[in-house]
């Protein structure tokens, strides 16, 4: 029997793998959460499939998403990244990644982990939505607006409410798998 999935992922093997194994799965590991913050910020204005295809290049270019290393990147490293054809070569997003690594470290020291900080917004429980179709899924919510505003106050860049909502979906803070999808859970 064929698995029923969210419509957005059925046109690509990469999308199907991402949908089935990652999207909407609760993630608590700070390293993985930072990776998704980076990827989602680079995705802004682009197709997510573009980012998934370049994911390994991003991982290599950004030292395995090691935020401690990234927080110390120099201007020379920025220039090096701007020459890397395997990633999205956008100076603002590269510089934002460095700034976000610094802000990420600050949040970790304040909350013991970024995970503690971000999951507190949903009372440490994934929010299960019940949408019948993709056109019902919002691009942003009041909560993603609040989180985005707080992240901005804390020095984060390129993380507007739409990007934050995509991050929330990707890391399982919200489960936006449509009801007919095998990944939608009837009870959280």
Annotation marks residue 22 as catalytic? no
Query: 35, 40, 73, 165: which is the annotated catalytic residue?
Result: 40
Total residue length of the chain: 188
Annotation marks residue 117 as catalytic? no
What is 24-86 written as a DSSP string? Answer: T-----HHHHHHHHHHHHHHTTS-HHHHHHHHHHHHHHTGGG-HHHHTT--HHHHHHHHT-TT
Annotation marks residue 119 as catalytic? no
Query: 15, 18, 119, 165: which is the annotated catalytic residue?
Result: 18
CA distance 122 to 169: 12
- Long-range CB contact pairs, 102-111, < 8 A, 24+: 102/71, 102/155, 103/151, 103/154, 103/155, 103/156, 104/30, 104/34, 104/37, 104/67, 104/71, 104/156, 105/67, 105/68, 105/71, 106/154, 106/155, 107/154, 108/30
Query: 48, 67, 73, 117: which is the annotated catalytic residue?
Result: 48
Active site residues per annotation: 18, 40, 48
């Amino acid at each position: 029997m064929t698995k029923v999935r969210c419509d957005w992922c059925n046109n690509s093997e990469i999308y199907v793998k991402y949908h089935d194994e990652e999207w909407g799965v609760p993630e608590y590991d700070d390293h993985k959460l930072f990776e998704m913050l980076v990827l989602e910020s680079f995705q802004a204005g682009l197709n997510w499939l573009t980012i998934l295809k370049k994911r390994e290049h991003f991982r290599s270019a950004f030292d395995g998403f090691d935020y401690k290393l990234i927080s110390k990147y120099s201007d020379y490293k920025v220039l090096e990244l701007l020459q890397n054809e395997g990633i999205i070569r956008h100076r603002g997003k590269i510089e934002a990644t460095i700034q976000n690594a610094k802000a990420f470290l600050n949040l970790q020291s304040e909350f013991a982990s970024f995970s503690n900080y971000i999951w507190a917004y949903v009372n440490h429980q994934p929010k299960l939505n019940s949408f019948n179709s993709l056109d019902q899924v919002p691009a942003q919510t009041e909560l993603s607006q609040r989180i985005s505003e707080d992240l901005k106050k804390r020095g984060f860049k390129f993380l507007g409410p739409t990007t934050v909502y995509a991050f929330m979906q990707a890391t399982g803070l919200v489960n936006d798998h449509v009801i007919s999808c095998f990944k939608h859970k009837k009870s959280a």
